[in-house]
Structure 1
Amino acid sequence: MSAPSPRGRVYRRCGCHGEGGRQLGPHRPRLASDPDHGSWALAVDALTGPDGRRRTGRRRGFASRTEVETTLARVRESLPPGLRPDPTETLVGYLLE
């Protein structure tokens, strides 16, 4: 069995709307040129159970990149490592490893 580490990413987005009324999110051109526009967010993928499926947790509204990276590090530390079971492995084979 392997113990994958949780993955995560940090990104910036805003709540501005385009001409069609849709939210621009991370695609707003002003995000690249104006460091005070938008807010920082994080997304973490973690294994949550024996089915091996990933679940994504998201948090938004951070004022700075440093703040969100610190929070992401704390989230990674608090998550259980998770196990990815091998469906072909037997109990005897596991115990003899």
Structure 2
Amino acid sequence: MPHTPPPYPAEVRRQIGERVRAGRDPTDLAREFEPAAQAIRNRVVQADRTEGRREARAEILTAAEREELTRLRREVRHLRLKRDILSHAAAGRPVSGPR
């Protein structure tokens, strides 16, 4: 089974991001710090959006928005299940599993 290395500490990720913003090439940093160059680019873009340095496109969610969306979807799923249980109980029918 492949081993996934632990993520770099936040301070190291921040320093890598600063170096990219200062003009260093993500490919060079990838050789130096080992994460893939694309992973470094993605991290810098996400950090810029989170910190408000870059305008987020409408279809791209921030980490907080993604977490809220996940929470709301879970809540909707739970409420639908409760609704189905109550409607089946009121009709006297047995309840089948979640949809």
TM-score range, shorter chain: under 0.3
Q: Which structure features the higher share of strand residues? A: 1
Radius of gyration: which is bigger?
Answer: 2
Q: Which structure features the higher share of helix residues? A: 2
The structure with higher relative contact order (CA 8 Å, sep 6+) is 1
